[in-house]
Amino acid sequence: MTFLEEINRRRTFGIIAHPDAGKTTLTEKLLLFGGAIQSAGAVKSNKIKKHTTSDFMEIERQRGISVATSVMAFEYKGKKINILDTPGHEDFAEDTYRTLTAVDSVIMLIDCVKGVEPQTRKLLEVCRMRKTPVIVFINKMDREGQDAFDLLDEIEKELKIKVRPLSWPIGIGKTFKGVYNLYEQSLNLFRGEDKQTIADSIEIKSLNDGELEKYIGEDNTKKLRNDIELIEGVYHEFTKEDYLDGHISPVFFGSAVNNFGVRELLDCFIEIAPVPRDRETDTKVVHPTDDIFSGFVFKIHANLDPKHRDRIAFLRICSGKFERNKYYYHVRDGKEVRFSNPTAFMAQDKSVIDEAYPGDIIGLYDSGTFKIADTITEGEKMNFKGIPSFSPELFRYVTNLDPMKTKQLQKGLEQLTDEGVAQLFTKKVDGRKILGTVGALQFEVIQHRLKSEYNASCSFDQVSLHKALWISSENKSKLDSFVQDRSQHIAMDKEGKLVFLAESAWLLQMAQEKFPEIEFHLKSEF
């Protein structure tokens, strides 16, 4: 296969959903279709259950699972499909945001009973920011959910996206019979009452086909014809270009647990989903077909053996061919690096690979040289953009509880924050360290890991902060005077960028009004 063919057959995507919408189930069904796994139940849920938040064993177990399910690849109809796992739990939202920088498209799952949920809203915002094409899968149609048109309205209104159904449910809940596939103009029906067997898909030439009633009955036929007429009248025609530009999201209906509607989703996905896309760096746009290798680290995972602090860095390949044992350039460090055991992920198996292509994700063993967002090239000095840190939601002062282990604590905090578990800010005025996270669970994870991996103890003390905002100004002297004026509330992030610690929304507003030349940013990249 040529280099170009290798690139064009890759589809790298993530499934986003609010917890419980059925992400694990759908992932598993996709792997089953791809023949990558043989039985249901093979993909472990990476859900963090609410009641186990203070159970450290549970945290360890979850970490193990999330290494295993970080990337799952399989082959389907000649395409190489890479599914990137995105934790649904809101405390790990930042992990998910970063993973979304490494995908080319997204399948968004919605539970037909619950409709649009808070996590769906936040994740879609990230996709919009990045102009990531989104396919919607409305799941659990075997349950008594909302009316299909109402759901579409809700999605359009709540998520501010345009949708276009490409399949349409016949009945819902107890009366759910199957779906009409608008894309292929075929019927997919359950066989029997138990909803466990799927009849072969039935080609129908047109909805006026007299045969239709035979399959779904008179009432359903009438309703289906009316519904489709309405769809054709109300919704824009679907074009692949609109979808790829992020202007329209095709919608599928189904029931993942019953295997229903999944094949249609997958078949359409491989037809329309984007091949590896261009990516921006601070110096140029990188095309996947460029000969020269480049990629970036979007996730770092500590290994589970606390005696060995080695980690796995997940690298998204953006251009060129990756080769084992070849020397590459670590841009931030300015050093040459070589990887003798790069791993690829097929379903849930890891194996050492000799080469990989744009769109692929590879795992690199790392003894602490990588940080999230690091760029690897063949010598070019450039950095991929779009992997920012976001202003955290929760803040705590870090207090060292064991002065004999100051160095260990320092190193532990450095490395854990390199992994992206939390963000570390150092106050300018007194050097006190503040950790910022998206969720409370991270503080427990950090405390636990500092103890078990670095033998360091610390306590976390409340800091009452509303937001940490990165600041900049075209006018350097204005920036200096702001920093001087608000010195009690200025900190540095790990890269040495200036951050304003706003204690309340009101104080932030005051600062903005008094210093109009200062720009306040909610993310570290601006």
Residues in contact with ligand G4P by CB under 6 A are 17, 19-25, 45, 47, 88, 139-140, 142-143, 255-258
Q: Name the minimum Å distance from CB 109 to ligand G4P.
A: 7
Please report where in the chains the tokens 């989104």 appear, as a residue.
134
Give how far the C-alpha of residue 406 lies from the chain's centroid of Cα atoms, to the nearest Å. Answer: 35
Tell me phi and psi for residue 450, to 5 degrees. Answer: -60, -40
Q: How far is the C-alpha of 215 from the C-alpha of 74, rounded, in Å?
A: 35
**Which lies closer to ligand G4P via its Cβ, residue 141 or residue 318?**
141
CB neighbour class for 226 (10 Å; exposed up to 12, middle 13-18, buried from 19): exposed
**Which lies closer to ligand G4P via its Cβ, residue 255 or residue 442?**
255
Q: Name the minimum Å distance from CB 246 to ligand G4P.
A: 23
Tell me phi and psi for residue 322, to 5 degrees. Answer: -90, 135
Q: Name the minimum Å distance from CB 49 to ligand G4P.
A: 10
Q: How far is the C-alpha of 375 from the C-alpha of 475, rounded, in Å?
A: 30
Q: Which two tokens stand for residue 196?
A: 């466990």
**Which lies closer to ligand G4P via its Cβ, residue 146 or residue 408?**
146
**Which lies closer to ligand G4P via its Cβ, residue 22 or residue 165?**
22
Q: Any alpha helices (H) in 116-261, and if so which ranges? A: 118-130, 148-159, 211-216, 218-234, 240-244
**Which lies closer to ligand G4P via its Cβ, residue 44 or residue 223?**
44
Please report where in the chains the tokens 């998206």 appear, as a residue.
438
Q: Name the minimum Å distance from CB 46 to ligand G4P.
A: 7
Query: 83 near 37, Cβ under 8 Å?
Result: no
Query: 288 near 384, Cβ under 8 Å?
Result: no
Q: Name the minimum Å distance from CB 273 to ligand G4P.
A: 20
Q: How far is the C-alpha of 340 from the C-alpha of 338, rounded, in Å?
A: 7
Query: 360 near 353, Cβ under 8 Å?
Result: no
Q: Name the minimum Å distance from CB 137 to ligand G4P.
A: 10
**Which lies closer to ligand G4P via its Cβ, residue 25 or residue 423?**
25
**Which lies closer to ligand G4P via its Cβ, residue 28 or residue 104?**
28
Q: How far is the C-alpha of 110 from the C-alpha of 204, rounded, in Å?
A: 28
Q: Name the minimum Å distance from CB 392 to ligand G4P.
A: 24
Q: How far is the C-alpha of 519 from the C-alpha of 512, rounded, in Å?
A: 8
Q: Name the minimum Å distance from CB 48 to ligand G4P.
A: 10
Q: Name the minimum Å distance from CB 371 to ligand G4P.
A: 29
Q: Name the minimum Å distance from CB 356 to ligand G4P.
A: 27
**Which lies closer to ligand G4P via its Cβ, residue 151 or residue 479?**
151
Closest CA to 8 of 244, 288, 196: 288
Q: How far is the C-alpha of 515 from the C-alpha of 512, rounded, in Å?
A: 5
The CA–CA distances, whole Å, from 363 to 20, 324, 345, 371 equal 28, 12, 8, 14
**Which lies closer to ligand G4P via its Cβ, residue 192 or residue 233?**
192
Tell me phi and psi for residue 235, to 5 degrees. Answer: -95, 150
Q: Any alpha helices (H) in 80-160, and if so which ranges? A: 93-100, 118-130, 148-159
Q: How far is the C-alpha of 236 from the C-alpha of 248, rounded, in Å?
A: 9
**Which lies closer to ligand G4P via its Cβ, residue 86 or residue 319?**
86
DSSP character for 384? B
Closest CA to 525 of 472, 479, 489, 480: 472
Other CB atoms within 10 Å distance of the CB of residue 193: 8
**Which lies closer to ligand G4P via its Cβ, residue 14 or residue 88?**
88
Q: Name the minimum Å distance from CB 259 to ligand G4P.
A: 9
Give how far the C-alpha of residue 510 lies from the chain's centroid of Cα atoms, to the nearest Å. Answer: 35
Q: Name the minimum Å distance from CB 354 to ligand G4P.
A: 34
**Which lies closer to ligand G4P via its Cβ, residue 49 or residue 222?**
49
Q: What end-to-end distance do the CA atoms of the chain give, in Å?
A: 40
Q: Name the minimum Å distance from CB 190 to ligand G4P.
A: 12
Query: 141 near 252, Cβ under 8 Å?
Result: no
Give me the amino acid identity at 225. R
**Which lies closer to ligand G4P via its Cβ, residue 138 or residue 468?**
138
